[in-house]
Amino acid sequence: MTEAANDTVSKQMDVETDIITLTRFILQEQQKTAPNATGELSLLLNSLQFAFKFIAHNIRRAELVNLIGVSGTANSTGDVQKKLDVIGDEIFINAMKSSNNVKVLVSEEQEDLIIFEGGGRYAVCTDPIDGSSNIDAGVSVGTIFGIYRLRDDSNGSINDVLRKGTEMVAAGYTMYGASAHLMLTTGTGVNGFTLDTNLGEFILTQPDLKIPEHRAIYSVNEGNSYYWPDYVKNYIADLKKPQDSLKGKPYSARYIGSMVADIHRTLLYGGIFSYPADTKSKNGKLRILYECFPMAMLLEQAGGRAVTDKGERILDILPKGIHDKSGIWLGSKGEVDRFESYIPKA
Ligand code: AHM
Ligand code: MG
């Protein structure tokens, strides 16, 4: 059969025969943006996708093999770890170790950073299963990751990760729900992939994703509002008033309590997500290296913004410790701009 005839058959059968897998996408990107690159980052991204598939597989079968529940150990920030947290962490560590391209690993589940033997030139920061308190209820959870290239003179140390978010070379998350969705940026926009479990491949489903500039949705745990500073209370109270631009309707509240799922909705629909610092602890909840930075890079690359409670760019923070936290506001540019107008001038 000729190529044209083949084309007609696949159209009649409604089968797309020229799909872009993550592996194909990574190789194409490398040829386009860095034809002389060593390919190490591409290999690392391939090891990452194996970790995502393996974690997705374990989450899918969790109910059946009784992985749901508490493991009996505590993680670096004192939370009781879920069995899946432990398994996700182990899968991630093993995948990064065996990739031979990773020298330094920071995991939410490990108090100290891990330095691998061998000559890897990258540092990876991750929350292997974020939002795990939701797992028992079947709510989407996800793996968040940010990647730095080691400093030129480094053999792997904490200084490779105590750097501004602007220095990351790639970041993203994989959300595990009915299907697994990977949102990836290597600094040239955001691309979304969906795991086809039959093929065992992530397929490009949302090329060059852009976040809408405005959307009347806010996403925050209002149970904490007693401890919010007044300007945050005022901002949220104003969103609940009739909006002229919405013909008298107020903003909608949407809060899943799983950062990956809340950010996924925000990326696709627009709106604003926040976990502000409270006046009691004077700290946010979300960790800079493996929660705030990767999400901020994704949102910016999709045309949105990500700022601290004071309106400073998240990616400009210089973390002092690997588990440091920050207040965060991120989402549609127009919505973050509006929040910013409430911040008292210093
Ligand atoms: P975790 O890393 O221990 O899972 O905590 C992070 C999660 C985020 O996914 C989510 O945005 C936030 O905690 C929800 O916190 P809260 O229950 O206080 O609203
Ligand atoms: Mg977590």
Tens of pLDDT, residue by residue over 263-322, are 999 999 999 999 999 998 888 999 999 999 999 999 999 999 999 999 999 999 999 999
130 CA distance to ligand 1 centroid (A)?
7
pLDDT for 5 equals 62
| Phi, psi of 130, deg, nearest 5 | -85, 145
Q: Which atom of ligand 1 is nearest to the CA of 255?
A: 19
Residue nearest to atom 15 of ligand 1 (CA): 257
* Ligand 1 contacts CB of residue 132 (under 6 A): yes
**Which ligand sits nearest to residue 219's alpha carbon?**
1
Whether 22-206 shares its CATH topology with 217-342 is answered: no
* Ligand 1 contacts CB of residue 79 (under 6 A): yes
Right CATH for 217-342 from 3.40.190.80, 3.30.300.30, 3.40.50.300, 3.40.800.10: 3.40.190.80
SS (H, E, C) 165-225: HHHCCEEEEEEECCCEEEEEECCCCCEEEEEECCCCEEEEEECCCCCCCCCCEEECCHHHH
Q: Are 121 and 150 in contact (CB under 8 A)?
A: yes
* Ligand 1 contacts CB of residue 127 (under 6 A): yes
Q: Which atom of ligand 1 is nearest to the CA of 79?
A: 3
129 CA distance to ligand 2 centroid (A)?
5
Tens of pLDDT, residue by residue over 53-66, are 999 999 888 867 76
Does the pLDDT of residue 245 top 80, yes or no?
Answer: yes
pLDDT for 7 equals 65
pLDDT for 132 equals 87
Q: Alpha carbon of 345 to those of 65, 214, 226, 274, 340: distances in Å?
A: 54, 24, 22, 20, 10
* Ligand 1 contacts CB of residue 259 (under 6 A): yes
- The residue with greater pLDDT, 206 or 8, is 206
* Ligand 1 contacts CB of residue 130 (under 6 A): yes
Residues with CB under 5 A from ligand 2 (ion): 108, 127, 130
Of 28-32, 197-201, 256-260, highest mean pLDDT: 256-260
Residue 2: band (very low, low, confident or very high) from pLDDT cuts 50, 70, 90:
low
Closest CA relative to residue 308, chosen from 323, 328, 289? 328
pLDDT for 311 equals 97
Residue 179: band (very low, low, confident or very high) from pLDDT cuts 50, 70, 90:
confident
pLDDT over 90, % of the chain? 78
Tens of pLDDT, residue by residue over 68-84, are 677 777 777 767 666 88
User: What residue spans define the domains of the chain?
Assistant: 22-206, 217-342
Q: Determine the Cα–Cα distance for residues 145 and 290; give it in Å rounded to an integer.
A: 6
pLDDT for 10 equals 65
Q: Which residues pair with 183 in a beta bridge?
A: 173, 192
Residue nearest to atom 7 of ligand 1 (CA): 131
130 CA distance to ligand 2 centroid (A)?
4
pLDDT for 11 equals 67
pTM reported for the whole predicted model: 0.93
Stretch among 34-43, 87-96, 176-185 having the lowest mean pLDDT: 34-43
258 CA distance to ligand 1 centroid (A)?
6
pLDDT for 135 equals 82
Tens of pLDDT, residue by residue over 317-337, are 999 999 999 999 999 999 999
31 CA distance to ligand 1 centroid (A)?
38
Q: Which atom of ligand 1 is nearest to the CA of 260?
A: 9
Tens of pLDDT, residue by residue over 213-241, are 999 999 999 999 999 999 999 999 999 99
* Ligand 1 contacts CB of residue 285 (under 6 A): yes
Right CATH for 22-206 from 3.30.200.20, 3.30.930.10, 3.90.1150.10, 3.30.540.10: 3.30.540.10
